[in-house]
Structure 1
Amino acid sequence: MRAILAPLWNNAYLLMTLTCLFWAGNSVIGRAARDLVPPVGLAFWRWVLAFTLLIGVAWPYLKRDREILLKQWRWVVALGALGVGAFNTLLYSGLQYTTAINALLMQSAQPPLIMLMAFFLFRDRTGPVQIVGVLLSLVGVLVIVAGGDIDVLIHLRLNPGDAIILGAMLLWVLYSVLLRFRPPVHPLSFLAATFGIAILFITPFYVMELMAGRRIVPVAESFATIAYVGIFPSLLAYAFFNRGVELLGPGRAGVFLNLMPVFGSLLAIALLGERFTTAHAVGIGLIGIGLLLTRKA
């Protein structure tokens, strides 16, 4: 099994591509299930499921790495609260109100913001080819979400949900840059620790949501939603993203986030019967070229 998984674990481009596919599905499902699973409840049970599935295999590594984790507890708490707990709770909350196109536009801003924050905080160098790759990918995203119609962008209106997702996005940018300070422990130790921190962080907000009368509708779709977000965008995607940042650095890894609108559009076409247009083809092509330029940088 190790011989089979090793090539995947060392292939940053495949890891980041799968991460974006899983996270695109997370946004689509989070929006579709907004009337069945309240946002904080979805975030809470997502991490409870992921932590439950993970803790059995992670426990030996947690015991081995506990001294390092405790010594660097501030970074563990910060990364778990920001990038795991707060980000996802805000994302699901924003998806209660915002449109898909607004969410995709804001997500498309993450790669350049990651590069900018890495530069201003740590003076990370960004080459000209890398900058061109980011800009091409960003243009590709705009083509997709606008459907080739510039009027869509001109008449774009923001709502409270957009403000919430903007806050979530900025937290994710900070998380991506601060991953360089993750303790030098086994990946499973780090995942389990940050998932546990996220559960503790979300719990009081979940209690408030329950007290407000918002509860999960007990139907099969609700449980399927929690199962998906607990396994693919959580357990697998976070492990893949953390490894991708480790291999590529936050700037180059962040460029792959432009694949999320691509996968989101394709999922909408496959699951919702939307039409594949020329704008999709052009946008996907530009994003692909941008990723190739970043890879050569």
Structure 2
Amino acid sequence: MNRKRWLTYGMLTLATSTWGSAFIAGKVAVESFEPATVAFLRFLGAAILLFPLMAVMEKNRIKPNRKDYGLFAVLGLTGIALYNICFFLATKHAPVIKSSLFIAANPVLIVLLSGLFLKEKISGNHIAGMIIALTGVAFIITNGHLLDLFKIGFQPIDLVLMGAVVSWALYSVVGKVVLNKFSSVESTTYAVIFGTIFLLPFAAAETSWQDIQQASVSAWLSIAHMSVFVTVISFVMYYNGIKEVGAAKASIFINVMPVSAVIMATLFLGETFTWAHAIGAAFVLSGVYVGTNPRLFKTKMPRIKRESA
């Protein structure tokens, strides 16, 4: 495996590990603001940082046409506005076990959509890697009690969580199309700008000036963290990863997120790191290795073909 590929995998690991901190930062932020407002403030800060960054890094960038702006709008609507409204609602109202399980299902849907619409090859190592990683995620979020997954009944919040999964999967797949023409910095910047615009009316409707004045310092620091590290740096790295290895393979690294969330909860929230967490983390890392190493499974599965109308 060449050095560039290892660098890409390292960036994807760092990006998805950083996303794990969003669970903790989000819990702090929603104590002062409503979910849509947290999302709006997060991406407003990111947009302020990304636009000058794009101007410096992409001086010879291509001017988007009407179709390009339409795709950027789809990215902003799915991966920025809808996903984050659903995510912060789940952070506030759903059990961590349930929300983590739903988010962990993202790679499966991304792989299927990538095969269906992008004609990416779904190989044996992709499938095996996802199964192994999801097993690890299940260990982590249930603390080793896998049967707990079957004890959680259906609730209205499940529709919100499903919305988050579908939104992020669409964001990843459409993002691959956009990356054929634009860089990861450009794609992220335009998506964040459109997403911030979509979030503005929701934030304006649920937040008053008094809420902003009374917000805690911890809430503002959490939003700043999500703007700079979870959004600007991590989104650019994730999109660069999609461009280099494809949406299907990049999605496997999303399973690293619950591992980092548990580790950060142990370090910053005083939660206990158990044997189940250690086993789960080992499964996740093994799944990522298997999913990104095609030599382990040389027989490739056929591409998913769209049926003609």
> Which amino acid is the alignment partner of residue 286 of structure 2?
I
Query: How far, CA to CA, are the matches of 2:96 and 2:164 in structure 1?
Result: 15
Map of 2:302 onto structure 1: none
Indicate yes or no: 2:47 matched with 1:48.
no
Map of 2:94 onto structure 1: 98
- Change in Cα spacing, 1:61 to 1:278, as seen in structure 2 (3 Å) is closer
- Change in Cα spacing, 1:213 to 1:64, as seen in structure 2 (3 Å) is same
Map of 1:141 onto structure 2: 137
For structure 1, the residue ranges without an aligned partner over 5 or more in a row are: 1-6
Query: How far, CA to CA, are the matches of 1:71 and 1:121 in structure 2?
Result: 18
Give the alignment partner of residue 197 of structure 1, picking from 182, 194, 200: 194
Report if aligned partners of 2:104, 2:255 keep a CA contact under 8 Å in 1.
yes
1:115 positional shift: 0.8
Map of 1:21 onto structure 2: 17
Report if aligned partners of 2:29, 2:223 keep a CA contact under 8 Å in 1.
no
Report if aligned partners of 2:138, 2:146 keep a CA contact under 8 Å in 1.
no
Give the alignment partner of residue 275 of structure 2, picking from 256, 267, 278: 278
Query: How far, CA to CA, are the matches of 1:225 and 1:65 in structure 2?
Result: 32
The range that moved more, 120-129 or 99-108, is: 120-129
> Which amino acid is the alignment partner of residue 189 of structure 2?
A
Map of 2:122 onto structure 1: 126
Query: How far, CA to CA, are the matches of 1:126 and 1:119 in structure 2?
Result: 6
- Change in Cα spacing, 1:190 to 1:135, as seen in structure 2 (3 Å) is same
> Which amino acid is the alignment partner of residue 258 of structure 1?
N
Query: How far, CA to CA, are the matches of 2:251 and 2:149 in structure 1?
Result: 23
Give the alignment partner of residue 34 of structure 1, picking from 22, 30, 37: 30
Indicate yes or no: 2:172 matched with 1:176.
yes
> Which amino acid is the alignment partner of residue 255 of structure 1?
I
Map of 1:185 onto structure 2: 182
Indicate yes or no: 2:160 matched with 1:164.
yes
Report if aligned partners of 2:40, 2:199 keep a CA contact under 8 Å in 1.
yes
Where 1:65 maps in the other structure, the secondary structure is: coil
Map of 1:260 onto structure 2: 257
Query: How far, CA to CA, are the matches of 1:187 and 1:124 in structure 2?
Result: 19
> Which amino acid is the alignment partner of residue 176 of structure 1?
S
1:216 positional shift: 6.6
Report if aligned partners of 1:133, 1:289 keep a CA contact under 8 Å in 2.
yes
1:27 positional shift: 1.7
Query: How far, CA to CA, are the matches of 2:5 and 2:85 in structure 1?
Result: 28
Give the alignment partner of residue 75 of structure 2, picking from 54, 75, 79: 79
Map of 1:235 onto structure 2: 232
Indicate yes or no: 2:13 matched with 1:11.
no
The range that moved more, 264-273 or 58-67, is: 58-67
Query: How far, CA to CA, are the matches of 2:188 and 2:251 in structure 1?
Result: 19
Where 1:156 maps in the other structure, the secondary structure is: coil
Query: How far, CA to CA, are the matches of 1:180 and 1:238 in structure 2?
Result: 13
1:156 positional shift: 1.5
1:158 positional shift: 3.9
The range that moved more, 49-58 or 205-214, is: 205-214
Report if aligned partners of 1:114, 1:177 keep a CA contact under 8 Å in 2.
yes
1:89 positional shift: 2.1
Give the alignment partner of residue 221 of structure 1, picking from 199, 212, 218: 218
Give the alignment partner of residue 67 of structure 1, picking from 57, 63, 69: 63
Report if aligned partners of 2:188, 2:239 keep a CA contact under 8 Å in 1.
no
TM-score (norm 2): 0.87
Where 1:68 maps in the other structure, the secondary structure is: coil
The range that moved more, 271-280 or 203-212, is: 203-212
Report if aligned partners of 1:58, 1:188 keep a CA contact under 8 Å in 2.
yes
Query: How far, CA to CA, are the matches of 2:65 and 2:45 in structure 1?
Result: 22
- Change in Cα spacing, 1:193 to 1:123, as seen in structure 2 (3 Å) is closer
Aligned-pair identity (%) = 24
Query: How far, CA to CA, are the matches of 1:266 and 1:95 in structure 2?
Result: 18
Count of matched residue pairs: 291
Greater helix share, structure number: 1
TM-score (norm 1): 0.90
1:151 positional shift: 3.3
1:63 positional shift: 7.0
The range that moved more, 189-198 or 254-263, is: 189-198
Map of 1:4 onto structure 2: none
Cα shift readout 1:36-73 (whole Å, capped 9, x = no counterpart): 12211111111111111222232356774352354522
